[in-house]
Structure 1
Amino acid sequence: MSFGNQGARVWRKTGEKDMPKCLKSSVKYPQSVMVWGVMSAAGVGLLCFIKGRVNAASYQEILEHFMLPSAEKLYGDEDFVFQHDLTPAPSAKTTGKWFTDHGITVLNWPANSPDLNPIENLWDIVKRKLRDAKPNTLDELKAAIEASWASITPQQCHRLIASMPRRIEAVISAKGFPTKY
């Protein structure tokens, strides 16, 4: 008979209660972090671990210190079109001005469209790679995320970007409802 998930059972002899071999550590309140990253068909760019809330000013700092160097690495002098979500910080007028001042074209993008955003699938790949890491500290978590991110190949990114026509077709066929993407 079972009464829900009671965890693993351990049989031990009298006096073994506090012996290390009879103990299993656990994390009651797992660490979490907010991460910003950028990708293109050429691969991944830099990661930024975010502290606190993101407002327009902090988002523009992220763009300045993480997106611009990533664009340089991934594109060199070539032009590119930037895609971001329509949360408040990226949608702010001052953020739009930042892009204009830097000569960067931003893709006109529908709100609430994660099915069409390939980076969401990339984050799923990163999370799958983290499953076995089991970090116990914030530093271990950050290191595991960085290692997972660094293991993403340009080919994986290219496949995600190349899937865009199929994604768009699927959303149109589903009349805006969720798709397999």
Structure 2
Amino acid sequence: MVGGRPPCSNKAAMSGGVMFWAGIMGTELVSPFRVPEGVKMTYAKYVEFMTDHFLPWYRRKNYAFRNKIIFMHDNAPSHAAKNTSASMAAMGIKGEKVMVWPPSSPDLNPIENLWSILKQKIYEGGRQFTSKQQLWEAILTSCKQIQAETVLKLTSSMDARLVKLLSNKGSYVKM
């Protein structure tokens, strides 16, 4: 399971963009969940957001599925806070269920490739948006177009990324 929160925007979407959280697991795209306008993602807001959005999805999954999940989130301050870790542990996401994330390593996170795929779909043909709602609708539509095979390709690349990282002695991994 990997998650993130890219802002998607363009000049026509007026002062910024739309922030949302998404995750990938196996062949499944988990999301998108829109972050409310104006929310500063402190650890408390991140935990609240995860409790309200991710946790219900997670709890609907069967035990075998939940047992094999490894939760990956990057080192953003709200993700890396000790209070976030304690809250995630209270949700049952702890120990070997959480990947220890090396600093400055976006090249390892397969969701970075998902953001690229989504942005290509959203802005296909030079599309522009006149409102944040229009942009959000394009994000939802684009997420629905992501094929299970694409998600699997991203998640199954993780082992190869780690092997390459080790062979590069911790240097940048280009996949």
TM-score by length of 2: 0.79
- In structure 1, distance between residues paired with 2:13 and 2:99: 42
Given the alignment of the two structures, is residue 152 of structure 1 paired with residue 146 of structure 2, yes or no? yes
Instruction: Answer with 1 or 2: which has the greater Rg.
Output: 1
Structure 1 counterpart SS, 2:45 = helix
Is there any run of 5+ residues in structure 2 with no aligned partner, and where? 1-10
Counterpart of 1:95?
A: 84
- In structure 2, distance between residues paired with 1:172 and 1:161: 18
Counterpart of 1:130?
A: 122
Q: % of aligned pairs identical?
A: 30
Counterpart of 1:179?
A: 173
Counterpart of 2:3?
A: none
Counterpart of 1:42?
A: 27
- In structure 1, distance between residues paired with 2:63 and 2:41: 29
What is the CA-CA distance between 1:31 and the residue it aligns to? 4.6
What is the CA-CA distance between 1:89 and the residue it aligns to? 0.8
- In structure 1, distance between residues paired with 2:161 and 2:13: 39
Counterpart of 2:134?
A: 140
Runs of 4+ in 1 over 4 A off after TM superposition: 28-31
TM-score by length of 1: 0.76
Q: What amino acid sits opposite 2:113 in the alignment?
A: N
- In structure 2, distance between residues paired with 1:30 and 1:146: 20
Structure 2 counterpart SS, 1:35 = strand
- Give yes or no for contact 1:38–1:46 (8 Å, CA) kept in 2: yes
What is the CA-CA distance between 1:37 and the residue it aligns to? 0.9
- Give yes or no for contact 1:130–1:148 (8 Å, CA) kept in 2: yes
Aligned-residue RMSD, C-alpha: 2.1
Change (3 A) 1:31 1:89: closer
Structure 2 counterpart SS, 1:46 = strand
- In structure 2, distance between residues paired with 1:130 and 1:31: 16
- Give yes or no for contact 1:56–1:92 (8 Å, CA) kept in 2: yes
Structure 2 counterpart SS, 1:134 = coil
Q: What amino acid sits opposite 1:77 in the alignment?
A: Y
Counterpart of 1:166?
A: 160
Counterpart of 1:112?
A: 104
- In structure 2, distance between residues paired with 1:143 and 1:95: 30
Relative CO higher for 1 or 2, CA cutoff 8 Å, sep ≥ 6? 2
Matched pairs, number: 155
Q: Where is the helix percentage greater, Structure 1 or Structure 2?
A: 2
